Structure 1
């Protein structure tokens, strides 16, 4: 919910920073202005301010990409509290031999993964998964179930080209997640994701994905809830 007097410059500056972080290639000032539907001169000022702070930088073609300060902030926010290290130790116990295990956070309409471990990998769950639309993620549905329908409509109403209620069927899927206490998302190819939200002040969700029969769902939900309890006890 917006405060009574929101700082629009801060909001727009963060939108620029998010766009740079999400883009696979550096963006020119006018290119970013078109993408965000911002006024070009103002976009240029915002980018120069971000560059001054080290949150953005220009490449040899004078296009913008995220700067080193954003990585410092990311490391500080993830590891200062020790939350990630503690959570990873718990999540390692969920991988088994056939399930993908993930933990992520919701920002606007995308899910950003803090941990994503495929069953065939043994690298400790490094974060190599790009952000995905929340509506196509079990973790995203679980996190959006914490929002009201009005908040979801407001979120998608301001996203360029999106339907006011979000993608078709989103509100119904979110309602199911609220009712069940967990999200069950069919990812295609027979794979499904089960996800739950971590309680307390940790605005994150954890989940497992793979091919499993309906009879396994109660046990997987129980395992996730047990893991969540262990994470939030020390979070």
Structure 2
């Protein structure tokens, strides 16, 4: 929930930065303004400020892409949190089951994967930094289940187009198959188990008493192996959290 007097300049600047780092190509001022629902002149001032701070850089066609500053900030944040360093050895141990293993964090309607390996080889095909709609992710559902219903409704029904609602389709919230009911079932059982594609599903649990990340296993999971996988995930989550200083 926003404070009584939110800093609009800060919010809009972060929205511009989020749009740049989420895009697979450079964005122009007017395109970004349409995407965020902001005035082009305001977006132009924000982009020029971000460029001056090296969080963005202007390229051919007067478009912008992420600058070196954002890469430094990302590296510093990962190093400072220590999450990846603590998690790696425990995540690698989960590959013994022969399914994909992932670690992710939640930001509004998106899950960002800090670790995602789809083979039994923990060194192969690691994907970091990719985002996915939280409502379509087992890790996302596990983390959203710890939010209040009020917060979930605010995220998926924002009154302001610039509040970082950039790419996720809005899922149905109400009804027996809606997101609110799915989150309630997840709270009751203490873990997320959702179908992601035909024949595939994801099992995920959160990390931390006040969850800050989640770990999951994805694949053609059978009902018989879910209890074993849940035990392994729960143990790994506790070990990862226990490594905090």
* TM score, norm. by length of structure 1: 0.93
User: Is structure 2 residue 235 aligned with structure 1 residue 231?
Assistant: no
Unmatched runs of 5 consecutive residues or more in structure 2: 159-164
**Is contact 1:157–1:164 with CA below 8 Å preserved after alignment?**
no
Q: Where does residue 231 of structure 2 map in the other structure? A: 222
**Is contact 2:106–2:143 with CA below 8 Å preserved after alignment?**
yes
User: Is structure 2 residue 215 aligned with structure 1 residue 206?
Assistant: yes
Deviations 1:14-70 (A, max 9, x none): 111111111111000000000111111101111111111111111122201111111
- Given the superposition, is the C-alpha separation of residues 163 and 181 from structure 1 closer, same or farther in structure 2, using an over 3 Å criterion? closer
Per mean C-alpha deviation after superposition, the further-off stretch among 77-86 and 7-16 is 77-86
1:143 positional shift: 0.7
Q: Match of 1:80, SS?
A: helix
1:5 positional shift: 2.2
Aligned residues: 235
User: Is structure 2 residue 150 aligned with structure 1 residue 142?
Assistant: no
**Is contact 2:105–2:213 with CA below 8 Å preserved after alignment?**
yes
**Is contact 1:50–1:56 with CA below 8 Å preserved after alignment?**
yes
Per mean C-alpha deviation after superposition, the further-off stretch among 158-167 and 146-155 is 158-167
Deviations 1:118-164 (A, max 9, x none): 12544266334621111110000001001111111111111487468
Unmatched runs of 5 consecutive residues or more in structure 1: none
Q: Where does residue 52 of structure 1 map in the other structure? A: 52
Matches within 5 A, 1:46-85: 46-85=46-85
- Aligned match of 1:165 in 169, 173, 181? 173
Q: Where does residue 25 of structure 1 map in the other structure? A: 25
Q: Where does residue 4 of structure 2 map in the other structure? A: 4
**Is contact 1:53–1:69 with CA below 8 Å preserved after alignment?**
yes
Q: Where does residue 182 of structure 1 map in the other structure? A: 191
- Given the superposition, is the C-alpha separation of residues 229 and 20 from structure 1 closer, same or farther in structure 2, using an over 3 Å criterion? same
CA distance in 2, matches of 1:170, 1:202: 19
* TM score, norm. by length of structure 2: 0.89
CA distance in 2, matches of 1:166, 1:133: 18
**Is contact 2:105–2:112 with CA below 8 Å preserved after alignment?**
yes
CA distance in 2, matches of 1:126, 1:198: 21
Aligned CA-pair RMSD: 2.1
**Is contact 1:29–1:43 with CA below 8 Å preserved after alignment?**
yes
Per mean C-alpha deviation after superposition, the further-off stretch among 52-61 and 132-141 is 52-61
- Given the superposition, is the C-alpha separation of residues 163 and 132 from structure 1 closer, same or farther in structure 2, using an over 3 Å criterion? closer
CA distance in 2, matches of 1:10, 1:166: 33
User: Is structure 2 residue 197 aligned with structure 1 residue 195?
Assistant: no
